[in-house]
Structure 1
Amino acid sequence: MLSLYKLEIFGTVVQVGSFSGAAQRLYMTQPAVSQHIQDLEARLGTPLFLRGRRGVTLTPAGKTLYEYTQRILQLVAEAESAVTNVQHLDSGQVTIGATPGVSVYLLPEWIGSFRTLYPQLNVSIQTATTTEIADAVLEHQLDVGFVEGELDTIASKRLGSAILRPVDLFVVVSGSHPWHERERVSVADLDEQPFITRQPGSRTRAWIDDLFSQKGVRPRIVGEFDNQEAIKRAVISNIGVSILPDYAIARETSAGVLYCLPIEDVTLERQMKLIWDTKSPFTAVARAFLSHLVMHFPGIEKVLST
């Protein structure tokens, strides 16, 4: 791996045009500067400078390395600035939008661990649909959004998005339902089955309706709710069955009050995504929050480096 310290010396030699000038600027001896450059050349297996009486000029390989060196040193400076800004913030807030499931079942844990590190910073949450969150991010009402629905064409062109994790969905039934001892079900099994679902207009409802339409299945809708917690309670009461994401049913399945069944003839999976406005840089607090989430979602690191 290339040494950042040696790259800094290399960049200084390029800027001043000579080894002696770089040595003076860096308060080093000229032989020490020369040795660091030789180490880089040995590491890369190619000369970086053409030495002459009037100084040095870059070789083609040297020009390429200098382009990357500038970018690397700029990123280092930005990282130092971002960390310093957050540590010295006496107060600040990040405003986050999230679809209902993420808002209820995942965000509280993320926020709790974040505020343990940064108790002086606040996190504001707005729960809404994917479309509403996308619009609010573009209107700068939200710093970032966490969604599971698909973005429409216009929003997807203006927003940055990164997949954080797949979300597996299961058919869920109560312990008193005849299916609770089964290992799996088919889509056809849901035909005419009492079914509890999200309200019309939600992306989740549209997604499930489309799935049933493609398979020619028509469950009997016996309940429509605007949140997953209400759906779970209805299923536990054996009013009907439903389809819910893995993160929403972990506690109930462990307790044995709900049973989750994969559908054998179709893959039930959605994508949890982070969305942001590509034309607006992250605030210091938003960047700190996203950096904290890298432990859960390593892909965020790439988002922060762009």
Structure 2
Amino acid sequence: MAQSDIRRYLKHGTLPQLRAFEASARLGSFTRAAEELHMAQATISVQIKKLGETAGLPLFEQVGKRIQLTDAGQRIYAACSELFRVLSEMEHALIEIRGAARGRLQLAVPPTATHFARRLLSAFVQRNPAVQPSLQIHDRLALLERLRSHQDDLYMFVELPDEREIFAQAIVPNPLVVLACRDHPLAGEKSIPFARLASEPLLMREPWAGTRTIILRLFARHGRTPKIRMELSSDEAIREAVLAGLGVSILPRYTIGLDPVLTNLVCLDVEGFPIESHWHFVYPVGKRLCATARAFMDFARVEAKSLFRDCLRRASAETRSEVLDVAQYARAPF
């Protein structure tokens, strides 16, 4: 790029314009960019139009109902990505120089982890009030996309991504249990054979959900194919379907009973359950973690276990389940 072009960008191209452009290019949608940046779509369009005028070339073209980068747009997008990466590193370096947990901390989690992540962030911010937390909630596919493009400081996964260049730290156990309505024929039975579970209609998360991968792997080990009656996009929707008698499901133990109206749910005593799984903090190996993110990970090593146990106790008390002895997790040396 000629020096005159660089001077023109420095004079007329603003960070808000570049931010609006980068988000639109990455997400492939002005609407999704507006949602992520908490801006009106009209504002996004104006910012991108001004940036295009500065470039003297169109940055997007319409292909059907989707937008696509032009050659000029691809060049600017690559430069934007590098610019924001450098600015993020600069911010982190300044935080380290100040020597305290402060500034932005962005955690991205799946919907299943929302309650636990909120409690963990809340406890951390109470001790470090200068921290500005951000909790991004996305399905597994979106989390993987954000992980690959280094959009957040830390990510939470149960089923670890296939990416080789990642660092993963186990935080707390995340036992999966078989959930049914209280008047289900199997409620109250002891040591239910897995084959009996396999004959029940099963309510499952969408194909890309991490817990679904674990469940399918378990059925495969038993040489069984689950009888999937319905796929739902959230644990809350699954719990409601279980209450309606549409089938049984396999969900994380601590998510059961967080809502007091769900007292008609029980955990079935199926052989091989609960399934052992863990929540992990994940980030790319090449990513330089800021001091605040490192402090948060250190905090989680110490405090996450007690917070998680509290979630389990509350879940057990609110569902009044007698099948699963939650005390075994409270006593476990995690």
Q: Shorter-chain TM-score category? A: 0.5 to 0.7
Checking the alignment, whether the CA contact within 8 Å between 1:98 and 1:133 is kept in structure 2 is: yes
Instruction: Give, in angstroms, the shift of residue 265 of structure 1.
Output: 4.3
Calculate the aligned-residue CA RMSD, in Å: 2.8
Instruction: Give, in angstroms, the shift of residue 129 of structure 1.
Output: 4.2
Between 251-260 and 161-170, report the one with greater CA deviation: 251-260
Instruction: Give, in angstroms, the shift of residue 93 of structure 1.
Output: 1.2
Q: Which residue of 2 aligns with 1:149?
A: 159
Match of residue 132, structure 2, among 103, 108, 122: 122
Q: Which residue of 2 aligns with 1:158?
A: 165
Paired AA for residue 99 in structure 1 = P
Q: Which residue of 1 aligns with 2:71?
A: none
Residues 30-60 of structure 1: CA deviation (Å, up to 9, x unaligned)? xxxxxxxxxxxxxxxxxxxxxxxxxxxxxxx
SS of 1:86's equivalent in the other structure is coil
Distance in 1 separating the partners of 2:194 and 2:260: 21
Residues 59-92 of structure 1: CA deviation (Å, up to 9, x unaligned)? xxxxxxxxxxxxxxxxxxxxxx9595326x4xx2
Distance in 1 separating the partners of 2:118 and 2:112: 11
Give the unaligned 5+ runs of structure 1. Answer: 1-80, 299-306
Checking the alignment, whether the CA contact within 8 Å between 2:172 and 2:304 is kept in structure 1 is: yes
Q: Which residue of 1 aligns with 2:202?
A: 195
Q: Which residue of 2 aligns with 1:280?
A: 287
Checking the alignment, whether the CA contact within 8 Å between 2:168 and 2:283 is kept in structure 1 is: yes
Instruction: Give, in angstroms, the shift of residue 171 of structure 1.
Output: 0.8
Residues 247-298 of structure 1: CA deviation (Å, up to 9, x unaligned)? 2115469974211124314662222211122323221322232233232358
- 2:95 pairs with 1:85: no
- 2:113 pairs with 1:99: no
Residues 278, 260 of structure 1: CA spacing in aligned structure 2 closer, same or farther, 3 A cutoff?
same
Distance in 2 separating the partners of 1:252 and 1:190: 26
Distance in 1 separating the partners of 2:182 and 2:215: 23
What TM-score do you get using the length of structure 1 for normalisation?
Answer: 0.61
Residues 253, 209 of structure 1: CA spacing in aligned structure 2 closer, same or farther, 3 A cutoff?
farther
Checking the alignment, whether the CA contact within 8 Å between 1:161 and 1:274 is kept in structure 2 is: yes
Distance in 2 separating the partners of 1:129 and 1:255: 24
Residues 224-265 of structure 1: CA deviation (Å, up to 9, x unaligned)? 111111111111222211111112115469974211124314
Count residues with an aligned counterpart.
Answer: 211
Q: Which residue of 1 aligns with 2:30?
A: none
Residues 215, 254 of structure 1: CA spacing in aligned structure 2 closer, same or farther, 3 A cutoff?
farther
Give the unaligned 5+ runs of structure 2. Answer: 1-94, 306-334
Paired AA for residue 123 in structure 2 = S
Residues 194, 83 of structure 1: CA spacing in aligned structure 2 closer, same or farther, 3 A cutoff?
farther
**Bigger CA radius of gyration:** 1
Matches within 5 A, 1:162-177: 162-177=169-184
Residues 255, 178 of structure 1: CA spacing in aligned structure 2 closer, same or farther, 3 A cutoff?
same
Matches within 5 A, 1:177-256: 177-251=184-258, 256=263
Residues 160, 215 of structure 1: CA spacing in aligned structure 2 closer, same or farther, 3 A cutoff?
same
Paired AA for residue 253 in structure 2 = D
Instruction: Give, in angstroms, the shift of residue 203 of structure 1.
Output: 2.9
What TM-score do you get using the length of structure 2 for normalisation?
Answer: 0.56
Q: Which residue of 2 aligns with 1:137?
A: 147
